[in-house]
Structure 1
């Protein structure tokens, strides 16, 4: 499909009161993640750090802790219980900080032969043991039990891991070859299914739904695909265009296409996702009714990372240059993280017509 239905009355979110984090990273922000138990925000950046901000009482955040790396950070994620945060990146390591252990330094918990593009916490089925999974440009994903030093299992992928997400027993991996690997974490050492991405161009991001029955893939061509995990529900899969803009300045009709840099599932509504792109805008979609619920104005630069907090009342988004046009188009875009507050019931799926 070419796009979702929308009407003018749902567009134009007011971002004028969004709070800007104090003391933001000095380089492009690659990853945002909220703790599930407190309003702590993890911020991973190309300046080689993961920063943790306490957003509980101060709108602009208070710095609480930091993890240092020897290269750009490409991913960060909180543990299921919200007490630990892990980061990973170009130095080929993943490092973990336990905020419950006051004064304790971050510990290296994973390593690959190439940069680690994604790190995610999960709990192994039939076990309360916290674990992490890492996806790397060395074409592998690895599972790590935090109680041991070595990887407990390694799975070979067809190509470099570009994005990865996990929820409940489902792990979805997007690769450089546009393959989508689906893994059942009850049998984590094997790829249950590999399917070709419906998107024609490079995969930028994958994100699992809250109920783990579906996932969304965003690409560099301003398109998104909604995929059911079960092959028996293939009829529910569809793709659509977004983060595209008509250029009124050209003589002939021209459409500017922007990369979908991030996709965030809403923590309450199973079929609701937010997308953000190089066009400096974000949209909130109801996949069940195939409609756009909300849209933002331009924030003045590419949005590089996004995240909802645990109850969906706060939406963090990072602004900065995303290098989608290379060095020649680099311009002075201020790196910053903003937080938008959603009032109750502002985001809610449309009621199906009877």
Structure 2
């Protein structure tokens, strides 16, 4: 088993004995052509194990349901521009989405009605349903390229409040009372949702390159961030905890097939596109532009299981409500710009039934 260097600096990942092969994915449920363009987000219903929404650059949000192993399209609603994010309300009755038309939209699953409930002055990159203030009122928080986050009541078209960010919002996640916002220029804003209009702590990513994704721990005491340069960092809110347990590591890199034998040539480096924490065990998964995903144990600092490349980038992944299903998209992630988006590029969603071997924390030896 490969272990991380036990330091607070970046460590190099060796070869893990817990590598899977493609046979381990043979029973995955495959949804071919779930969208007409690149998939931007996947979100599971908090109330049902196998119902999820998918947003896409084709301007649509689709709701899928898996019955007896067969995926079925349940509903869809359309936007005039690419949709970049989707999430479910806590009661599972509504699906929110945002994207390049700058609008926040709310879809009622029972009635099939969609309405616009908010606007930014630039595209909405990410959103979350959160519970705010002393009364734990449910609202939607949106993060935009207009350098703001906004909180929405869902019953009125004006935001409850607007908070300026240091730069364009690229990623955001929340857990319990913790909200973490990652922006351009590697800024990180940490917010306590008990006081949602104030930045509790402003910091900078320890990773040298642009932040691609952020995900909060189940315990709400920290977060993981991934960069465009194949690195992940484990961070804690408390400075003493960070000093004790924080670290960074390399991942989503491949040996360059063109380097000379025996040389120490450069590896091929890919972005870490998506990070998700298992809802029960607190382990996590990273997915990247190299077409692989890996399950990790941050507390023991090792990889639980890694998978071979599927020959297409993975732009987004997520667990369902109890972690029994892991969904991942094979779709173009734009890390090579417009030139990398070939007409024959795969556009697929796969659902993988997780095993404890993959996602459960191993006991210390």
Structure 1 Cα separation of the partners of residues 183 and 32 of structure 2: 35
Give the C-alpha shift of residue 60 in structure 1. 3.9
Structure 2 Cα separation of the partners of residues 302 and 175 of structure 1: 22
- Give yes or no for the alignment of 1:324 onto 2:332: no
Instruction: Judge which range, 332-341 or 282-291, deviates more.
Output: 332-341
- Give yes or no for the alignment of 1:106 onto 2:114: yes
Structure 1 Cα separation of the partners of residues 52 and 310 of structure 2: 20
Aligned to 2:12: 3
Aligned length: 349
Give the C-alpha shift of residue 279 in structure 1. 0.2
Aligned to 1:244: 253
Structure 1 ranges of 4+ moved more than 6 A: none
Equivalent residue in structure 1 for 2:178, among 170, 173, 181: 170
Equivalent residue in structure 2 for 1:261, among 273, 294, 312: 273
**Contact 2:332-2:345 at 8 Å conserved across structures:** yes
Equivalent residue in structure 2 for 1:298, among 299, 309, 330: 309
Structure 2 Cα separation of the partners of residues 157 and 328 of structure 1: 31
Q: 3-state SS of the aligned residue for 1:302?
A: coil
- Give yes or no for the alignment of 1:34 onto 2:32: no
**Contact 2:38-2:331 at 8 Å conserved across structures:** yes
Residues 244-293 of structure 1 deviation map (CA, whole Å, 9 limit, x = unaligned):
111133224230000001011111112x1100000000001100000000
**Contact 2:33-2:347 at 8 Å conserved across structures:** no
- Give yes or no for the alignment of 1:137 onto 2:145: yes
Change (3 A) 1:60 1:298: farther
**Contact 2:133-2:195 at 8 Å conserved across structures:** no
Structure 1 Cα separation of the partners of residues 238 and 158 of structure 2: 32
Structure 1 Cα separation of the partners of residues 106 and 88 of structure 2: 9
Equivalent residue in structure 2 for 1:193, among 201, 210, 224: 201
Give the C-alpha shift of residue 10 in structure 1. 4.8
Structure 2 Cα separation of the partners of residues 290 and 166 of structure 1: 23
Instruction: Judge which range, 320-329 or 39-48, deviates more.
Output: 320-329
Aligned to 2:361: 349
Change (3 A) 1:58 1:87: farther
Q: 3-state SS of the aligned residue for 2:281?
A: coil
For structure 2, the residue ranges without an aligned partner over 5 or more in a row are: 1-9
Instruction: Judge which range, 31-40 or 18-27, deviates more.
Output: 18-27
**Contact 1:6-1:293 at 8 Å conserved across structures:** no
Aligned to 1:74: 84
- Give yes or no for the alignment of 1:335 onto 2:357: no
Aligned to 1:158: 166
Q: 3-state SS of the aligned residue for 2:37?
A: coil
Equivalent residue in structure 2 for 1:280, among 276, 283, 291: 291
Structure 2 Cα separation of the partners of residues 95 and 290 of structure 1: 40
**Contact 1:5-1:291 at 8 Å conserved across structures:** no
Give the C-alpha shift of residue 23 in structure 1. 4.7
Give the C-alpha shift of residue 165 in structure 1. 0.6
Q: Describe how 1:210-225 pairs up with structure 2 within 5 A.
A: 210-225=218-233
Q: 3-state SS of the aligned residue for 2:315?
A: strand
Give the C-alpha shift of residue 309 in structure 1. 0.5
Q: 3-state SS of the aligned residue for 1:232?
A: helix
Aligned CA RMSD, in angstroms, stands at: 1.6
Residues 115-169 of structure 1 deviation map (CA, whole Å, 9 limit, x = unaligned):
0001110122443532000000000000001122210101001100000111111
Structure 2 Cα separation of the partners of residues 2 and 344 of structure 1: 26
Structure 1 Cα separation of the partners of residues 226 and 11 of structure 2: 15
Change (3 A) 1:279 1:22: closer
Q: Normalising by structure 2, what TM-score?
A: 0.92
